[in-house]
Amino acid sequence: MDEEELAGIFPASDDCLLFEQDLPQLISDRIKIITFQFALETILINFNGEVASIVASTPAGDQSAKFATDIIMNESIDNSLTNVPTAIFYIDHESEINYRMFKDPNQNVALSKFSTNIGNIDISIYARSQIMEEDEG
C-alpha cells in the first residue's frame, strides 16, 4: 500500500496527535504475557482529562494490570476509553515500540500507529478503534 492510499484510510497528522509513548521491550513483553494469561485480544487506553493510561483487564474486572500511566495528551478527553489490539506485542521485535495515537478529526475514532523494527526492517502497524464513554457504575 502506498502513502496516498494509507492517508485516505488512516488520516494521521501531527495536528490530530493525542499522544506519543515509547514502550520499552520489558513493557511490551509484559503486555504480551499478561494479555495471554488473561485471554485478551485487546488492551484498554483510558482517557482521563489530559492524561491517558494503558491497562489490561479481564471482562469480569477481577484481574487487571497497568502498563503505563500519566501519559500526557495533546487534547483533553474525559472519562472515555478505547480498545487496541494486542497483535503488535506478539511480533518479535528488537527495539522499543513507538506508539502514536491520533484522533480522527471527523469521527470519535482513535487511530493507533505502532512502529518498531526487526533487524534492519522497519515495521509499522495501524489500528482503528472507537472512543467510547466509560460506563458509570
CATH class of the domain at 3-131: alpha beta
Contacts of 120 (CB under 8 A, 6+ apart): none
Residue 127: CB atoms within 10 Å:
18
Q: For a pLDDT cut of 70, what percent of the chain falls above it?
A: 91
Write out pLDDT tens, residues 8-49. 766 667 888 999 999 999 999 999 999 999 999 999 999 999
pLDDT tens digits along 57-114:
998 889 999 999 999 999 999 999 999 999 889 988 878 999 999 998 888 999 999 9
Residue from 97, 82, 98, 95 nearest 130 by CA: 82
Cell output for 11: 488520516
